[in-house]
Amino acid sequence: MSTTSTYPLRQIMHMDLDTFFVSVERLLDPKLAKRPVIVGGSPFERGVVSSCSYETRVFGVHSAMPLRQAFRLCPQAVFLYPHFTHYAEYSKLVKDILSDIAPQIEKASVDEFYLDLSGCEKLKGNTYDWAKDIQKNVNGETQLPLSIGLSTNKLIAKVATSEFAKRSEAKSYKVEPGDEAQFLSPLPVAAMPGIGEATEKIFLTYGMHRIGQIAQTPVQLMTRLFGKNGKTIHQHANGIDLSPIIEQREQKSISRDHTFTEDTFDVVLVVASLHRLASDLAEGLRANVVLAQKIGVKLRYSDFHTVTKTASTCYTNTTQEIYRIAEKLLRSVWTRRQRIRLIGIEAHDFIDDLQQLYLFGEDKQKKEGTIDSVVDSIRHKYGDASIAYASHLVH
């Protein structure tokens, strides 16, 4: 079924950073090159595989497998704890590179991007050649291996990457306009994005093993089996996907401030207010699932003279780390013997908090992060006033 006669022609590129966590670990430690590597933690602890190198997959290891099982299958592998901050930094680097190249970008996950290259042929020439140039550019600047797929929509481009580009020497694959349904037809049902194990079992029960069989099934039967989602599955099986590139607007900064009821000299009151602001700011960072590298403090005196100062830190969103930095900044900017009218705190230079996304993390901030998570959950259930750090309270 051709999609070009009914729907507007687009040129969508899908980019996948191959074995991303492992690839970053190898950049950090080149001795890991060509060795079997499993990222997830110790094989003697409870946990699952976050990422594994191709050298381990020949032994049957795959993502989400229990680490102990992975060890039984491939005991010679190097087992590593994940370094989420490094992964987020490299992901941001790739996003920044792409933002300078392509007009529209969607970051689908930490290691997966969609680019809308539609209408750029007049400027860039052959779109597929340009897509391969983008691939070379990203690889050259980051040294990360990656695969790309190109087609008229996101679904086909993703399948082109996962089913063909990753297995090709060039690590790239293009599906021509009008060939979408024919491209999908011989592929197994599980190859279609959005088809999980439960849905796959239903199709197999009905004798549908290939995507082409789904495409030929009456849409009425599909809606009877899967409700409203049945129509979407039927369209996808026929190579039709109208979903747009969604560009997330990244928040540049998060700030909190407090104006005192009366201008004050009270050091205890000012410090307690700063700690409360740090707690609120850290909670905002965690709610947005980001870490901040820079923390700033703002101090406004009673004559409205305002002083600000910023310091860099390791990426963080824990209350205590943010407060430690803010308290040092406060001491350095509070230099006048004058009453304070307002105090504020700000965080910027963000990366994704992959530790929170993957539900396990690095030991460095684990303890403080656990405390913050408990505080967040209590406030979410019982309200912001239900719990506070003792340092917030002024008698």
Catalytically active residues, by annotation? 112
In the chain, the amino acid numbered 32 is: L
SS3 of 344, please? strand
List the beta bridge partners of residue 135.
none
**Residues 260 and 277 sit within 8 Å (Cβ to Cβ):** no
**Residues 14 and 158 sit within 8 Å (Cβ to Cβ):** yes
Residue 302 gets which letter from DSSP? Answer: T
**Residues 50 and 82 sit within 8 Å (Cβ to Cβ):** yes
Of 181, 163, 186, 187, residue with least CA distance to 173? 163
Token pair for 349:
């230079």
Sheet holding 290-301, edge to edge: 253-264, 340-352, 290-301, 306-316
β pairing state of 172-174 and 146-151: parallel
The radius of gyration of the chain's CA atoms, rounded to the nearest angstrom, is 26
Task: Look at the alpha carbons of 222, 224, 228, 229 in this order and tell me if their dihedral is positive or negative.
Answer: negative
First-to-last alpha carbon distance for the chain, in angstroms, is 74
Alpha-carbon distance of 236 to 181, in angstroms, equals 9
SS3 of 349, please? strand
Alpha-carbon distance of 4 to 10, in angstroms, equals 9
Reported as half-sphere exposure (CB side, CA atoms, 13 A), residue 250 has a value of: 16
Give the phi and the psi of residue 176 in degrees, each rounded to 5: -70, 150
Burial 87-109 (b: 16+ CB within 10 A, else e): bbbbbbebbebbeeebebbbbee
